[in-house]
Amino acid sequence: MHDVRDQVAIVTGGASGMGRIIAGRLAARGARVAIFDINEDNLATAAGAGGFTPLRCDIGDRAEVEAAVARVQAELGPVDLLVHAAALMPSHQLIDHTHEDMERLFRINYFGTTYAVRAVLPQMMARGRGRIIAFGSIAGHALVPHMGAYCATKSAVNSYIEVLQNEIRDSGVKVHLVCPPAVNTPLIDQSLDTDSPGSLRNAKQSGRLADPEKIVDAIDKGVAKGRDIIYPGEARLLMLWHTLAPRLWWKTVLGFEK
């Protein structure tokens, strides 16, 4: 993401967490950056920092996403880069997670991804260039209790983006899937404030959550190397552990629930 001078970039979830870090780096490198977020207080803080065009946007509302993208195109120009980081991460055991809340989670995490991608992709393909960086999660591979719905949404995002990469590989538009581990950002607090898995609570208490700046550094390097799927931090290890030794994986993560 280094060569972005004078490019137009949209960062969803850009008012906090890794989205905010990425938006700041893009602006510092000369990009014209619009940040989409639903948290108006965080948007106001970001706007006060300067260098951004802040837009309130519910990523789970297709009409809002399309309108916000159209506004960016009208005010800043055609979109060269989309970084889609917006998500929710509440935690509940599946027996307790209401249908209404799970549907909302899918609308934001999965369909929000499709809304954002489809709002910028046709014009990118028509121009024969552009880049999309979409946040899936290692949680879509390495599953944990109390986060079944979240894991399902991220499995869906991981699948959607990987298929998209290969369907449009020769279009001139580059698509990257980012699968981070648990990162010390406000997103984690959404889980910790609900019925969080014991493994996540332990990671927070012991200081083992990943540093967001270091994760963004790894994403930068992965994009520069042209990697389709980027597994920053310990994410690749977690994926391999669950894939190669699932019984040991579940014994370990369930051990934190005792």
Per-10-residue mean pLDDT of the chain, 258 residues long, equals 90 96 95 95 82 94 98 97 97 97 98 98 98 98 97 98 98 98 95 95 95 98 97 97 98 95
Whether 70 maps to a domain, the answer reads: yes
**Counted domains in the chain:** 1
Give the per-residue pLDDT at 51.
Answer: 80
| Per-residue tokens: 258 | 């005792």
The answer as to whether 3 is a domain residue is no
Residues in the chain: 258
Q: Quick one: pLDDT at residue 1?
A: 66
Per the structure, the complete domain to which residue 118 belongs is given by 8-255
Kindly give the pairing relationship between strand 52-56 and strand 173-178: unpaired
Judge whether 194 lies within some domain: yes
What span, in angstroms and rounded, lies between the C-alpha atoms of 247 and 242?
A: 8
159 within a domain of the structure (yes/no): yes
* Residue 2 covered by a domain: no
User: Using CA atoms, how far apart are residues 107 and 105, in angstroms rounded to an integer?
Assistant: 5
Of the candidates 110, 115, 150, 160, the residue annotated as catalytic is 150
The phi, psi pair for 88, rounded to 5°, reads -120, 155
pTM assigned to the model: 0.96
Note whether residue 67 is domain-resident: yes
Q: Residue 60 has what DSSP assignment?
A: T
CA 64 to chain CA centroid, Å, is 18
Asked if residue 171 belongs to a domain, the reply is yes
pLDDT, residue 48, reads 75
Looking at the domain assignment, is residue 225 inside a domain? Answer: yes
**What is the C-alpha separation between 48 and 175, in angstroms, rounded?**
31
Q: Is 115 an active-site residue?
A: no
Cβ neighbours of 130 (radius 10 Å): 22
Residue pair 59/10 in contact (Cβ under 8 Å)? The answer is no
CATH number of the structural domain spanning residue 156: 3.40.50.720
DSSP label of 232: -
